Amino acid sequence: MYVWFSSESGNAPARLELAVCEICPPVFEITIDQRHHGAIIGFNGEKVRELQKIFNVKILFPSPVEARNNLVKIQGLNDDVSKAFKSLAELAEVLDEINYVLEIPIFKQFLKLSAGKRAIFIKKIREETDTRIFFPREGDNKDVIKVMGNKRKVLIAYDMIKEIQNEIGNIITKEMVLGNVKVRNVIVNLGNKFIQSIKEDCGDNVTLNLPTVKGDNTIVIKGPEDDVKNVITQIQTMVDEFHKYVIDLKVNPKFHKYLIGTNGVNVKKIRHLTNTRIIFPPETDSTNENITIVGKKENVNKAKAKFEVMIIDIGNVIEEHVEINEKYHGTLVVNQKECLHKSLR
């Protein structure tokens, strides 16, 4: 569309630009950890409405079901948006500082302690660091302790819990020599992806140092005795069964979380059924399409076929976007599970 101005139009272009901005105000994005969104929105959206009124902008939050979406949009005139952006950035920084979270993998030996003894340890740490400490709920497959609070104090609590666990965890170091050169090469080539997949099965409490020099076939494993034994068993299985076949299955990264499933339920099932090692790229690598499958050739092909069926099913899912009045955003964030359940019925 073209708009013509005569020499007598004066400041008409400026007025038109202002009118266009009012009709289609620019949108800016700010990254705020999704776990803080509810605090900023407030009960029934009271806090976000107040912010919108103060800065004369529109603030749009992602849907609660959008996993790991931290982008908050601010819409309005440039000056207003700049002020709102600065205020939200400062608020997010404060929330990050006072609601810092660290996850600590739990040693099996720690869980074997009596409930009373564990409670004494945790009470002492809570009182000394003024932090909140949460154990996994019953049925939760993720064995981690969550520590929340002021960042500096959370780090102190983290060190205290690690120290207690190390005292009771019977930490050992073992060296494992890989006699099979082909298996050694497969493991070394996979590198960090192999280490991460082992940790998913054996826990984050183990550390693995892979060979870095040609001719060195030794893996150094350190951690609680039970976990170290588990790692050695898994690696030995790879050696015994001569797991030499490796493929990279290319899958759109947005599908990875569905293939993995909640707490890894889907990928663990396929690993168990096909006796393969399946390695996904880390969540932080949003562009890596490769899912690595290691195992006997026939088993790798079985795992690949199962993933391909799942990918077809996922591809048939239709995604729709629904605009919801901002006054209901707070309610949706607070009661997201109940609201979603009702909407799906």
HEC readout, 113-140: CCHHHHHHHHHHHHHHHCCEEECCCCCC
Pairwise CA distance, residues 77 & 19, whole Å:
11
Q: Which residue has the higher pLDDT, 210 or 57?
A: 57
Runs of H (alpha helix) within the chain: 12-23, 37-41, 46-55, 78-98, 108-112, 115-129, 151-168, 181-190, 192-202, 225-240, 256-260, 265-274, 297-315, 329-334, 336-344
When pLDDT is averaged across residues 120-134 and rounded to a whole number, the result is 90
CA 292 – CA 165 distance, rounded (Å): 33
Give the least confident one: 187-196, 204-213, 304-313. 187-196
- With a cut of 70, say whether residue 252 has pLDDT above it: yes
pLDDT at 124 over 60: yes
Kindly tell me the sign of the dihedral angle through the C-alpha atoms of 294, 297, 299, 304.
Answer: positive
* Cβ proximity of 200 and 264 under 8 Å: yes
Q: Is the pLDDT of residue 300 over 50?
A: yes
pLDDT higher than threshold 80 for residue 238: no
In contact, 45 and 329? CB cutoff 8 Å: yes
The string over 184-208, giving b where at least 16 C-beta atoms fall within 10 Å of a residue's C-beta and e elsewhere, is bebbbebeebbbbbbbbebbbbbeb
Residues 6 or more apart whose CB falls under 8 angstroms from that of 14 comprise none
Instruction: Give the pLDDT band (50/70/90) at residue 6.
Output: very low
CA distance 80 to 54: 9
Reading the block at residue 284, the tokens are 């932080």
Strand pairing of 58-60 and 218-224?
unpaired
> What is the C-alpha separation between 144 and 142, in angstroms, rounded?
6
pLDDT higher than 60, residue 33? yes
pLDDT at 315 over 80: no
Say whether pLDDT at 85 is over 90.
yes
- pLDDT at position 4 over 60: no
The model's pTM: 0.49
pLDDT per residue over 132-172, tens digit each? 988 877 666 667 888 999 999 999 999 998 888 777 767 88
More confident residue, 324 or 157: 157
Strongest mean pLDDT among 82-86, 165-169, 325-329: 82-86
The span from the CA of 237 to the CA of 234, in Å, is 5
Which SS3 state, helix, strand or coil, does residue 104 take? strand
d(CA 315, CA 136): 33
Please tell me the predicted confidence (pLDDT) of residue 255. Answer: 85
pLDDT at 182: 72
Mean per-residue pLDDT of the chain: 79
Tell me the three state secondary structure of residue 262: helix
Helix (H, G, I), strand (E, B) or coil at 144: strand
Tokens coding 292:
């690595």
Q: How far apart are CA 46 and CA 179, in angstroms?
A: 65
Q: What is the pLDDT of residue 244?
A: 59
Dump pLDDT digits (tens) for 107-122: 766 766 667 777 888 8
Average pLDDT of 80-84? 92
Give 342's Cβ-side CA count (13 Å radius): 6
66 contacts 38 by C-beta, under 8 angstroms: no
